[in-house]
Amino acid sequence: MTIYDIDFAELYRQHLIACNHFNLPPTKWDKKAAKMAENLVGKPSVYNERLLQAINIQANETVFDIGCGPGTLAIPLAQQCQAVYALDYSQGMLDCVARFKQELNLLNLTTFHRAWSENWDDIPQADVVLASRSTLVDDLDDMIDKLCAKAKKRVFLTSVTQRHFLDEGVFTAIEREDIGFPTYIYLLNRLYQKGLQANLNFIETQSGHFQGETFEDLLASVEFSLGALTEKEKSGLKHFYVQKQANGEPISHGQKKWALIWWELD
């Protein structure tokens, strides 16, 4: 067997099944929107800085930002370029974008309330297509086809390098075997199989620690990733939390680095 015998789109699909990836309803993201807007939009961060540097947007260019969230990148980009189309399936996120749009008078910013899996025929092509931290899709091929259909010049994607956002200790505490999310390597290989030799860089982040204040915050964050815990699992998690607090040890969370996958169109 060689690498040419592997269908990376199918392997990715199998991984999603193995990690019990459940389609998060947009309402789950709605609940996170206000906090994300507060923490991410207009706040200096190495991640935003590096990504914006890589995109190197020009004043006469247009951008299509997929899974735009509260406007982390869409807002600074709209301040620098001709037009931004910002898509998200969470109305809560788009409400945040609309608020920034109004406050900053960004008339060149248009939002689309849409999911990755829906029809995008009415969305215009853009010079730059971006999907930042929003590439955990159901179907890699559908994603790649959509990116190619919408991009005129450059495509930028960021994807996970670690299989878990949660502290590895959480899995021991709740006694769950968890394969975690498929990382960027599936996407990179599938792009190659579809004839796209993409560039790969990594963005190191400052994140790494759980930001919540209470056990309930930790539980909410774990259930966001893994779905509802059983009572036994909750009690294991509580024990883990109490011990970490008692020892003054941080709980890790997030991605220490993100894969930046990008390519230019001919």
Ligand X SMILES: C[S@@+](CC[C@H](N)C(=O)[O-])C[C@H]1O[C@@H](n2cnc3c(N)ncnc32)[C@H](O)[C@@H]1O
Binding site for ligand X (CB under 6 A): 26, 29, 40, 67-69, 72, 88-90, 93, 115-116, 132-134
3-state class of 259 per DSSP? Answer: strand
Query: In whole angstroms, how close is the CB of 75 to ligand X at the nearest point?
Result: 11
C-alpha–C-alpha distance, residues 161 and 164, integer Å:
9
Measured CA to CA, the distance from residue 245 to residue 107 in angstroms comes to 47
**Amino acid residing at 155:** V
Kindly state the smallest distance separating residue 176's Cβ from ligand X, in Å: 23
Compute the least distance from the CB of residue 68 to ligand X, in Å: 5
Measured from the CB of residue 237, what is the shortest distance to ligand X in angstroms?
22
Q: Which is nearer to ligand X, 101 or 133 (CB)?
A: 133
DSSP notation for 28-75:
HHHHHHHHHHHHHTT---HHHHHHHHHH---TT-EEEEET-TTTTTHH
Q: Which single residue brings its beta carbon nearest to ligand X?
A: 69
Closest distance between ligand X and the C-beta of residue 48, in Å? Answer: 8
Instruction: From residue 262, give the alpha-carbon distance in Å to each of 12, 90, 242.
Output: 20, 25, 42
In the bound complex, what is the minimum distance in angstroms from residue 103's beta carbon to ligand X?
A: 18
How far apart are the C-alpha atoms of 200 and 191, rounded to whole Å? Answer: 12
Cβ neighbours of residue 60 closer than 8 Å, sequence gap 6 or more: 81, 82
Nearer to ligand X, 147 or 173 (CB): 147
Give whichever of 67 and 180 is closer to ligand X, judged by the CB atom.
67
Choice between 37 and 83, CB closer to ligand X:
37
| Residue 145 near residue 173, CB atoms below 8 Å | no
| Closer residue to ligand X, CB minimum distance, 34 or 234 | 34
Closest to ligand X by CB, 154 vs 236, is: 154
Please spell the DSSP secondary structure of 157-177, one letter per residue. EEEESSS-SB-HHHHHHTT--
